[in-house]
Chains A and B, each alone.
Chain A
Amino acid sequence: MISLPEDSENLFTIAKSGIVAGLTFLFVSTFVVNPLVTNAMIESQILSNGRYAIVYDAHETIGEFGDFKATAIGSSIIRDAVDGLCISQNMDSKTGAGIFNLGISGGNPYTEMIQTQAVINSKADLVLLELGPNNLWQFYDSQSLDDYIEFRFSINSITMDHDDVGSWTELIRERDMPYVALTDIQKMRMNKIYSIESVESTFEEISSGLPEIDFTRSGVPGIGDDDWLEYLMTPTYKPPNFELKSSHEVRTYFEENMPKLANGSIYNPKSEGTLNHNSYEYILRELTKNGIEVLLIGIPHHPLVYQYLSENQLDEYNLTFAKYLEYDGVYGMNMFWEEWPEWMFRDRNHLGLHGREYACERIAEAIDSINYNQSEAFFVQPTVELFLEQKSQCDGSGLTWNVISENTIIPAKEYSFCSMAKDQRLPHKWEKGVTDAGIRLSPDIGLSPRNVVDGPMVGYNVTIEKPGWYFFWFETRGESDSDDTFAVTFERPNLPETSFSIISSFPQGDGEWIWTNESSMAPLKMWVQDSWDITIKIWMQEDGVELRRILISNEPSFIPTEEVVG
């Protein structure tokens, strides 16, 4: 039985001990657990994506950014549409501008509203605020929606500072209040939800001996790391999706999903009175009141979406957009009604690489015009037709090449005919004159059509007069490390197409031209019975490859070199 001298303690010492215990608890909670939880959220796999936890640290970084700064806020639609580094480089009005992308998966005006005060504190010059029909739905009873709101509010509550709390608290629904931490005690409660996983993740980090943050674990670099600022401007985008599907697959997707989606809340927006509208109005009011200009951005959806929407279905979206433009300091760039080509999208409503590149130019122009105080009308002019027009053009020389000598050389750029990619979503094509006297598959972004026959093609009509063996050589070079290949087919009138021969043996990146006839089907050769008209077709397999000349020889031992051919 434990005993202590009765006079060893008195009520004063007990009270003192209690106070020390309380202070210790507060200290541990504030200075140990909170940073531990926040770091673990960003750096480990506690959250499906560490991006959810960086909002307030991002605003803090933005606040420290010296030059012109704009912050994009919204859902994954704006996240996938904004390439901050690209926009910054394309802007004329400000050099060294910081265009920060804080778009986040599932974000809606109600959930994003709570960062308004943090935006004000960061002294951003401009906010790029997503405003699409998908942001204007009436709140409904849904477990998954409630879960998402709980999740976002909890995470944001843990990571926000006291001075990030603004009058947005008045708009929070009663049912969501338990997930918003306004006091230290409430914050402690939020930390508790993730504390065990955070400790576990810290143990994991220690045990794996990671000296630095493993970027791939959460998809987010550590705060203040070398990649941090760049990530805030240009986040890690999702890999291609529709870009890798055939046209048929994409259409099937829309046929299966769009009828239901078109009747859903995201394509049936309201014009006022929803929680989302209230949140928008709060954001616009607060930002403009604090001298921050706002550019409302409507990002287009995949062109096939529009076929499923009835006339006037999105009128209330238009009304809302127009209404919000009436705020002083609010500009609009509604690209939603522009029909961007299919190949710009990675899925139904997210831009892919090409879409992002185009959006970059457009947004840069828009920011410039705000900075130059140009007319607001500028922002609604679509210029996208250029892409469609450009894509449909492909003309060949119409020439037919006669093989009469031992070695016949055909300049690659003099192709007889050509075709664009059969899949109109792909912008790739053989470009003339890009390199010295050759043609090049462009653009080189590492993407390839899944099927060779979907890719762009150049064809050469050749007449071979004398019977015998003929050997085909291609003078080529590649740029990237491993993804430059093309395919060759030979055709004769009334005969089926021969098998594809894939050529992929190029010097890697040193710019040297080489002659090759090695393919996946062994050296390229053909037995000609008598006078034959044949067609050589060259298909893009992977882009970036360049082709300068084609040589047809009837000498089995002949190997073309720079010295011999010239």
Chain B
Amino acid sequence: MSKTVISLKDITVSYDGEQVLKNFNLQIKDGEFVTLLGPSGCGKTTVLRTIGGFVAPETGDVFFSEAKITDIPPHKRELNTIFQKYALFPHLNVFNNVAFGMRIKGKKEREVKEMVTSMLELVNLTGYAHRSVSQLSGGQQQRVAIARALANEPKVLLLDEPLGALDLKLRKDMQVELKKIQQQTGITFIFVTHDQEEALSMSDTVVVMDKGEIQQIGTPTDIYNEPQNAFVADFIGESNILDGVMLEDFKVRFAGHTFDCLDKGFGRNQPVDVVIRPEDIDVISAENSQINGEVTNITFKGVHYEIIVDVAGFKWMIQSTDFQEVGAKIGLSLTPDDIHVMKKSEYSGSFGDYSTFSDEMEEDMILEEEAAESKEAEIEE
């Protein structure tokens, strides 16, 4: 089996007295495509910079193939970074940017030339060698940055939101390309992003982070199908998250009814969070269903419709290819496979209701705001 290439042990990092990483532990296997995923400020970039050597942890150690590298400066680490803003050298042309690292290491000019040529080929920039980097588009600059990093033949490549500045179409293309490069070269990629779709489609392993802590580590399918808490369920894809009670193994009660499920190992009558993905819900006629409600909103999304259904005050989201009339009474059908039960966490209750999605709700809120504003105005007068 592949061995661990990077390992972080009990890393703590603070900026201006605020803890960004708390006792952070992570092992990354050789040749893996690992993504650190989380909202801004969750500490994912700090993890990357700690590995790269640009942030010194207060406590804890960084290991590279079993060797401690905590105190080794960035230029002596056998890894390379692709920076968010590419950070190309503006005074050098494409060729010399890519050649930079090799020349620092004192490689022969013939080798350098060969390597640069093959790297530019890898990133589809053959023929651009003598262009100035300022003449390149964002996507091209990004490719130069990739070529520049890979030319050093790093064991590990760190990528800090490298696709963040590109437009959607280009981003999708680059995702495919990066994945291809990773598979061709076999280099370990540690990729930072806040885009959950990017994380799911590219990675072997996804590390979901929030507030400087790991929320869940797993394959993209695990993370999506078996989220460990409400944060993960909400951050990755869309989820209906309901309060429930685990009656016994394979039996959970929520939304006023008891359902069969595939989860076990909870205590009797233990309060839980229940996750139901919008695309797993089938729409049936209201009479035949335990859960039924009124459609309050429907949005066409291209592949499917996004339907918001009010079931006794809780707004569910359903993704369905069938159109439903707003105001129609419909029933929701769930199979045991659709239900995922999670332990309660600090995130319980803060996610999972789609109230803000309904127009009605928005109108209510606007009306309330206006009322409040006019009241304030009156008081001021």
Q: Are A and B physically bound partners?
A: no
Q: Which residues of B contact A (CB under 8 A)?
A: none
